Amino acid sequence: MQALEQPTMASELRALAWTTLLVPVCTVYARSACRRLRPGRARLAALFPTFPVFVYLPCLFNSLHLRLLSTFFHTWLATNKLILLALDLGPLHPSLPLLPFLLCAGLPIKLRAAQQPTKTNDSASAPGGPPMADLLVPCARSFLFLTCLAALHPHTGPLPLYVLHYLYCAQIFLTLDLVFSSAGLVAATLLGGAGMERQFRAPLVVASVNDFWGRQWNLMAVDLLRASAYGPVRARWGRDAGVLAAFLMSGVLHECLYWYMTLQRPTGEMLLFFALHAVSHIAERWVRMAGLWRLPKAVAYLLGTAFMVVTISELFFGPFVRAGIDVRMMQEAAAAVESLRAVAKQLIVRPFVGSVSG
């Protein structure tokens, strides 16, 4: 298949402009339709024309970072939120004011539970997030460490494979945490200081599979999977079937992500990765219920982190590495850091040198 073209400033700005136009138009239409229609098939049919738009938006971008974020924001989050909205589930509700509705539909943010309309079928959410000012801390921290990783990348050749892939895990976490925290900061500012829930905690060191997927990693996706897959399947076939359904849905979505990033046929390895983690999640719960899981905390963290790194390295990163996605993303990150360095030099160093010479 044809490989993605190299991104240019003009191509990515054009894609951002189209995205900035189409996302609000679709979400305003969705809110208007849902205010007039009852939940169910009629509302779902009314929202259906928006789904192809959100599915297509990542294809506008040539930058892998922007394509990845658009796939997650639009093809996955926005489409899932609107499908749940059609069924009167999930974080969106027609009674939300227009601006909060637009921000919650188009960005990876979630208002604190106290600020959302009360619904008896809302999924369980994470504890309330920090004040708006505290969002600056993860933004600054993630930016600093991402800059360090970009500088370290040319020197990672001698590192063992699992260490290198652990650094990839760190890069993904820091990138998403930076983007999510920045989106939350912007949304909180626009909404007059409204509280936002944090979506990540400390996923780089975990005690178990349950700990990683249930309490540490991308809690907004966890909430949506709980509402769209786990809850309905559990109600009919039981808890373990619900867990398996949620993980398999996530696996299918990541196979789609692979296609968006590589334009190659999915390999099935990520589906296998999530199926393995589903089985591990269920088995771990059975062992705990039987009273057989009593490892010391340090050992649990070591084994849990090792399991995550090995399975991610073999099944999750493998297809991307073979397609050269890791190299290209590192090159994009290094180019972004170099651009920021050049801008900083223009804004800070040159005026200072000019004033001294004058």
Q: What is the pLDDT along the chain (358 residues), one digit of tens a residue?
A: 457 788 888 889 999 999 999 999 999 999 999 999 999 999 999 999 999 999 999 999 999 989 999 999 999 999 999 999 999 988 888 888 999 899 889 888 877 654 555 444 444 444 444 455 566 777 777 778 877 777 777 777 777 777 877 887 787 888 888 888 888 888 888 877 666 777 777 666 777 888 788 777 888 888 889 989 999 999 999 999 999 999 999 999 999 999 999 888 888 899 999 999 999 989 888 888 777 767 777 787 888 888 888 888 888 888 888 888 878 887 787 777 777 777 767 777 666 555 555 5
Q: What are phi and psi of 158, to 5 degrees?
A: -75, -5
Residues 94 and 147 in one domain: no
In a shared domain, residues 298 and 222:
yes
Q: What was the pLDDT predicted at 132? A: 56
Return the DSSP state at 196. Answer: B
Q: Which helix (H) or strand (E) holds 145?
A: helix 136-152
Number of domains in the chain: 2
Record the pTM: 0.81
Per-residue b or e along 341-350, where b marks 16 or more CB atoms closer than 10 Å to that residue's CB: eeeeeeeeee
Whether 312 and 198 share a structural domain: yes
pLDDT of residue 45: 94
Same domain for 208 and 76: no
140 and 191 in one domain? yes
pLDDT for the residue 120 = 42
The answer on 167 and 98 residing in a single domain is: no
Domain identity same for 175 and 302: yes
Q: How many CA atoms lie within 13 A of 160 on its CB side?
A: 5
Q: Which long-range CB contacts under 8 A does 207-210 form with residues at least 24 apart?
A: 207/297, 207/300, 207/301, 207/304, 208/284, 208/300, 208/304, 209/277, 209/280, 209/281, 209/284, 209/304, 209/307, 209/308, 210/281, 210/284, 210/285
Same domain, 65 and 142: no
DSSP state of 18: H
pLDDT at res. 256: 92
User: Do 207 and 154 share a structural domain?
Assistant: yes
**Burial degree of 298 (CB within 10 A; 0-12, 13-18, 19+):** exposed
For residue 116, is it within any domain? no
Q: Considering the domain boundaries, does residue 63 fall inside one?
A: yes
Shared domain check, 133 and 101: no
Judge whether 229 lies within some domain.
yes
> Does some domain include residue 4?
no
Establish if 44 belongs to a structural domain.
Answer: yes
| Domain of 30, in residue numbers | 9-107
Q: Which residue has the tokens 């658009």?
A: 70
Tell whether 175 is covered by a domain: yes
Give yes or no: residues 143 and 84 share one domain: no
In a domain, 2, yes or no: no
137 and 91 co-located in one domain: no
